[in-house]
Amino acid sequence: MEQQLTEVTVQPIDLAAWAPYALEVQSAAFGLSPEEVAVRLHIVGRHALQPGVIALGALSAGQLVGFGYGMPNQREHWWSTVIEPHLEARGHGDWLDGVFAVTELHVLPQFQGRGLGSTLIRTLCERSGLPRSILSAIDAETPARRLYRSLGYRDLARPVRFPNTDRPYVVMGARLPLLDRTDRGPDFR
Ligand SMILES: CC(C)(COP(=O)(O)OP(=O)(O)OC[C@H]1O[C@@H](n2cnc3c(N)ncnc32)[C@H](O)[C@@H]1OP(=O)(O)O)[C@@H](O)C(=O)NCCC(=O)NCCS
């Protein structure tokens, strides 16, 4: 109960400095093994150096309770090379250029469902200044998938298999700005 009353602010963060805390949030929200955390720490460290990276944290009493980051897609990035053939096969290859890729978005379970995820991704996309956004999500009816749909993301390619993961993914894309509740009407779900 006390936690629900704590103010949460969404603000830019230094991704490299906050990476260990971000991985704690991601572990609690998404489920990561210690080995995966170690690998992801290196990856996040590299992402922090990419041109145009935007990172936001949701902070409550100085603690990171959610975060999201992304960057303009670059075709030479590993993620882009994996999704490229899937998008090309469906005539969506143009979604790889001039688009903002949302790389990670996670909120601690006890802070979910109060608009933080939506605020994080919406603010990231606004700040990108780009006209479209893409991301990949687990290809299942998860809260994340539902949130992305409600913001205007649509399936571009599925299923997409990433090396070293068992679960199929979907690549989704949205025109920016993302939809808000008033755009969606009463039956946006
Ligand atoms: C995806 C994720 C980041 C969303 O974060 P979140 O903070 O719960 O997102 P929001 O609160 O903005 O929206 C989630 C739901 O809460 C609802 N909501 C938003 N504000 C609310 C409020 N003040 N009160 C009650 N509900 C609210 C939203 O309508 C939305 O409902 P819907 O799913 O029925 O549309 C979070 O579920 C998460 O971390 N999941 C695990 C990790 C993950 O899968 N990450 C994505 C990897 S691709």
Walk me through the domains of the chain, giving residue ranges and CATH numbers: 3-175 (3.40.630.30)
Contact, 118 vs 147, CB < 8 A?
Answer: yes
The pTM assigned to this predicted structure is 0.93
Mean pLDDT to the nearest integer, 61-85 = 98
Q: Which of 7, 67, 114, 134 to mutate to test the pocket of ligand 1 (most atoms within 8 A of CB)?
A: 114
Give residue ranges with CB within 6 A of ligand 1. 29-30, 105-107, 112-118, 137, 142-144, 146-147, 150
Helix (H, G, I), strand (E, B) or coil at 154: strand
pLDDT band at residue 2 using 50, 70 and 90 as cut-offs: very low
Q: Which residues 6+ apart lie within 8 Å of 187 measured at CB?
A: none
Q: Which of 10, 65, 69, 107 to mutate to test the pocket of ligand 1 (most atoms within 8 A of CB)?
A: 107
